[in-house]
């Protein structure tokens, strides 16, 4: 049996799935371009932070899975969204440590990490609200 939310998928979930899918594709393409090329693309990116680029590249595939979960309105997307938000927060802390120790970086990396973390935190809270409402409703009946 597939774990699916009860009721119809909210409009926000489909819109978020389109955004997450597009962002996932862009993340995989951009990260792959930086990681697997030595040419102009890598120089154009400026001061990259290796562990952040690798994390983002791998997470691009996870964003695609999250997009599918949102589009199909599967309940497992709540846990996935929390995992993405929290792991991005951990990497952001490592990134801050890199900056603190005088490492070179680009400000757009800080902004992208914050944006990703907030987006998936929002998905987790919004989709999790659907789960908790269903659970509270079942407990009242039960």
* CA atoms of 132 and 138, how far apart (whole Å): 10
In this prediction, residue 139 carries a pLDDT of 47
Q: How far apart are CA 99 and CA 102, in angstroms?
A: 5
pLDDT of residue 140: 57
Report pLDDT digits (tens) over 22-46.
Answer: 999 999 999 998 888 877 777 788 8
- pTM across the whole model: 0.85
pLDDT digit string, tens, across residues 55-97: 999 999 999 999 999 999 998 999 999 999 999 999 999 999 9
Neighbours of 73 (CB within 10 A): 19
DSSP secondary structure, 38-89, as one string: -SHHHHHT-S--HHHHHHHHHHHHHHHHHHHHHHHTBTTHHHHHHHHHHHHH
Q: How many CA atoms lie within 13 A of 73 on its CB side?
A: 14
Is pLDDT at 138 greater than 70 in this prediction?
A: no
Higher pLDDT, 104 or 136: 104
Place of tokens 């992208």: 112
Q: What is the pLDDT of residue 8?
A: 82
| Residue 132, pLDDT above cutoff 70 | no
């Amino acid at each position: 049996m597939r774990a699916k939310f009860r009721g119809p998928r909210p409009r926000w979930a489909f819109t978020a799935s389109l955004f997450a899918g597009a962002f996932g594709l862009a993340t995989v393409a951009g990260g792959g371009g930086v990681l697997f090329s030595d040419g102009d693309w890598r120089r154009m990116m400026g001061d990259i932070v290796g562990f952040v680029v690798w994390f983002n590249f791998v997470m691009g595939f996870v964003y695609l899975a999250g997009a599918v979960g949102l589009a199909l309105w599967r309940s497992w997307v709540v846990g996935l969204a929390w995992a993405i938000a929290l792991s991005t927060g951990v990497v952001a802390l490592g990134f801050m440590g890199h900056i603190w120790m005088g490492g070179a970086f680009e400000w757009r990396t800080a902004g992208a990490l914050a944006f990703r973390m907030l987006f998936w935190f929002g998905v987790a809270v919004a989709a999790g609200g659907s789960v908790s409402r269903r659970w509270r409703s079942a407990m009242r009946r039960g």
